[in-house]
Chain A
């Protein structure tokens, strides 16, 4: 093809596309010519690599490179629109410092903990990794090793990781960074409905009358959804209400009818005030509540998810650390928790270990519990802007209640403000209570909808179950029936699976410090920058007995403290699938090849699995603290004899036993759905089976008939399909769960059925304690929880006098590993700044744009002060994003966590800011 004719072809193609786009008829000849032009460019569907919205994209490749990306017009999520991160999706693959070779710390041609990094072969890398893993495994058993993964891992990657760790290594020490992001939402879903994930979908935005944002800066963190909310608002200005309930004024307030600035943690009190008002105003949907709900509560004194000891604390942290065991009840907590005489007195956190326990209460008890949350009390407690009068704030609370107690359609949206919360599970549950009391959930335009931050926090971390306590499709490791079902699916001898819940992320990192965990493998995650209180783990990783493997595509801070760095393929360099916040599973084909020796995570894990024989892992293994029916004490049993009966030998590798099974090997590559696309994972593995398809189909067997039904692999690759929302029963998607006519699991005549099977039998009691321990079942019902107001542990004081909130901004994704490689995005936001009220800055002699020292009990960093940001902080609070490695914002953050979900609270750390 000469360049002239190519040019003509392209022009024809552009003309035809333009005409088609603006709705003009396109001649057959023009289409044919356009097609000829696209003989060079190949367009295929894909999904955005970034947030949990799950926007569809079209990707063009030419000569082995991605040359163009556009929003997918047919995608129901984004209808052709992209945000700035989506727009640069193609570029993230092509940063100059993409990792292309395994790098290991070496001295004199051998691994040395204190050596410098040098390029090594994959063979060398796996040899050392195997040696180190086996050293730790022999010494400490399954509890000594951990794999920390991501809500950005593909569905297949999550499945391989979970199966390798749980069935292969018999370790539940696998946890995704979704722990830092979604865990509170997950626990609240399970406690309330017995099953994980939202009941609603994005189209509810177009049907809602009132939309309330609870601690969600949707305008920056979910830009595409926000443009839908905005469009809805503008389409009918008078009737549609948008309310921003937040601790500081952000971009969402620009179109909000009402902005409520509250003091951190008092969202608990505000929601109890609204729920009290629902009862006061006779707005309870009694028919719905009687038929479909029960009332419940749990213990109050549950601590703050910190270490119970200050043995490892820095000197300055010790005063905060002590509060894990005992803390003084403040006067508001005392009133809110109906024990006013305890105000100012020490309270022991006796229920820290049983924080998740809960029991039935009566409606009268529930009503009694809400009594203290009067307008006057809550207004005085919750007002978050010192410059606002109590009278004005009171008016706003009333308006908020007026809007939330409505005959119209009500949607609540939330993200990290409510999840990264030392009482995250509680506050999630109070929003459900608000919706359930009014019967407004799981219906078009009505629902409490937790948005996700990561592209497959739902699809991988939650649905596949890469958490320390989970198995695929909402099954749990500490449930004997679930283990039995899983063992059957995976063809494992009985009691191979470990019944003891493993280490959540923060516990695994603390394990590097206290010596309980010595081998950590991270994938698609930069925890040594993103976790709170990171200075501890940065030091701990370098202790001589620890071995840290980091799989990533670009250099990260975590790699800097690692011992071995494995270069990985990125999104469109492999076959994959993601699941977004509305239960939509979306797929793509491999578009291009990864650079150099970078390989897919699936290939890496499968290669590693080849290095283990059953006799090394399925023999007896030590497991301190294990006490479980059918298991010896403190040990996992030897299951090799039974394995032999099942046809395994002692020398069968984990690769053959778990992955390259006879059934999976029948799923052959090449496959017609590839339509010419490559599969590097299969090519490098050299075994000829279609790994991604076989494993997806194997995983799908967990979901079918269990209210999680996924469609067959090939269905998702249909040209017309733009993702499908599960459960998919008889080929039909489910857009609203639990309600009749929408959800195939709800029978005619039931109206609603909250059929989630977990935690469906609980004891009974009063507001203070269990009175009847016999579990009483609540089939098909949801729980309306009472949860009290409680303060956060590290209140600002005269020394650390400001409250630090950390989070994300529009231009950058998490720790900037990808977005900081896009020059345009880097230029737009090169460094993380500290947003501050101008008066707070002035008081410290600091001007806008000055560099100041920001210090907490855990570390100090220099930051540029910004008093003019679109994040308008009230006096006393400051905000900083965490993407900037030079700043390492999260080292300042307290590693307090919700004691039920183990999700850290990134929003409430005391700091001081001084001029330098």
Chain B
């Protein structure tokens, strides 16, 4: 627990510094009129509908501090949501769906429902699958979104389709908006370069399903999937040069399990 506490401490300190820095600009932008939040800027659980939320929110940052996972941020000047309002991006840190909903509990303004009863009723967003780029829809055995979904088999189910000629069934993930909370764990975990499953705020999905609809993939062809190897996510860059790869690692103490060694 020590490490996690320490991480939380650092995150919180940084967040509070951010809040303090924002205060000066908050007033200016507020009087300047409404900005609009991007479709993938998700609000905390129990939030009012977007237009009311932006108006009601006091920009106090209490929900951000209450979040134990560092999921929430307060938007800054040129961010994806109106300045000072809380939001999260699923691809960065998704919502862990705490049963006691600490973020909503501390909201003093009513922008978040402090008495929101059940985290599984939250509708922060709805996951949408780009079937054309979804590995499972292309016929691979991936289904990572289904596995990480906290409401697996309710919010995301697998539609299992036989493909007689190939002898292999296809496992197509399907999102059910009536159960999807929009927590974003699926988008976070999606292994494609750009997530093939994305969580958007409900108003961006509802009534527009037609636009995302894709005709069924032609059943007659064999999917050929090419995994290109020429590009790897930049976030894994090593920090400093070593004399030989692995050296620093090997010269560290045994990892944490050690303390438990009898």
Nearest B residue to A67 via CB reads B229
With contact pairs A255-B160, A828-B144 given, residues A22 and B245 touching in the complex (Cβ less than 8 Å) = no
- Complex CA gap A538/B256 in Å reads 13
B129 to chain A, nearest CB (A): 16
Nearest B residue to A915 via CB reads B1
Interface check B78, CB cutoff 8 A: no
- Complex CA gap A22/B224 in Å reads 11
Residue numbers in A under 8 Å from B150 (CB-CB): 848, 868
Residue numbers in B under 8 Å from A128 (CB-CB): none
The answer to whether B1 touches A103 (Cβ under 8 A) is no
The answer to whether B166 touches A80 (Cβ under 8 A) is yes
The answer to whether B260 touches A99 (Cβ under 8 A) is no
B250 to chain A, nearest CB (A): 4
- Complex CA gap A100/B230 in Å reads 21
Nearest B residue to A887 via CB reads B257
Residue numbers in B under 8 Å from A233 (CB-CB): 169
- Complex CA gap A255/B161 in Å reads 12
Interface residues of B in 200-254 (CB under 8 A from A): 218, 220-230, 232-233, 235-238, 243-247, 249-252, 254
- Complex CA gap A193/B209 in Å reads 59
The answer to whether A535 touches B261 (Cβ under 8 A) is yes
* Cβ-neighbour of B257 out of A251, A255, A847, A891 (below 8 A): A891
User: A170-178, A744-752, A858-866: which lies at the B interface?
Assistant: A858-866
The answer to whether B220 touches A23 (Cβ under 8 A) is yes
- Complex CA gap A23/B165 in Å reads 13
The answer to whether B218 touches A555 (Cβ under 8 A) is no
The answer to whether B170 touches A22 (Cβ under 8 A) is no
Nearest B residue to A852 via CB reads B1
Interface check A525, CB cutoff 8 A: no
A192 to chain B, nearest CB (A): 29
The answer to whether A565 touches B246 (Cβ under 8 A) is yes
Interface check B80, CB cutoff 8 A: no
* Cβ-neighbour of A96 out of B161, B222, B238 (below 8 A): B238
User: B48-56, B58-66, B133-141: which lies at the A interface?
Assistant: B133-141
Interface check A557, CB cutoff 8 A: yes
- Complex CA gap A801/B194 in Å reads 44
| Chain B positions 33 through 60: 1 when the CB is less than 8 Å from some CB of chain A, otherwise 0 | 0000000000000000000000000000
Interface check A396, CB cutoff 8 A: no
The answer to whether B140 touches A84 (Cβ under 8 A) is yes
Residue numbers in A under 8 Å from B115 (CB-CB): none
A879 to chain B, nearest CB (A): 14
The answer to whether B254 touches A561 (Cβ under 8 A) is yes
The answer to whether A555 touches B250 (Cβ under 8 A) is yes
With contact pairs A91-B232, A227-B169, A823-B235 given, residues A828 and B98 touching in the complex (Cβ less than 8 Å) = no
Nearest B residue to A824 via CB reads B191
Given contacts A80-B166, A847-B98, A859-B261, 9 further A-B contacts (CB under 8 A): A71-B225, A79-B168, A101-B245, A227-B141, A228-B167, A535-B257, A557-B254, A565-B246, A862-B256
Binding site for A on B (CB under 8 A): 1, 4, 96-100, 135, 139-144, 146-148, 150-153, 158, 160-164, 166-171, 188-192, 218, 220-230, 232-233, 235-238, 243-247, 249-252, 254-257, 260-262
Binding site for B on A (CB under 8 A): 17, 21-23, 60, 65-71, 73, 78-84, 87-91, 94, 96-101, 103, 116-119, 205-206, 223-224, 226-228, 230-231, 233-235, 251, 254-255, 314-316, 535, 538-539, 554-555, 557, 559-561, 565, 810-811, 823-825, 827-829, 847-849, 851, 855, 858-862, 868, 870, 885-888, 891, 916
The 10 closest A-B pairs by CB, nearest first: A824-B191, A860-B260, A223-B141, A230-B169, A83-B141, A234-B162, A231-B169, A227-B168, A888-B257, A314-B262
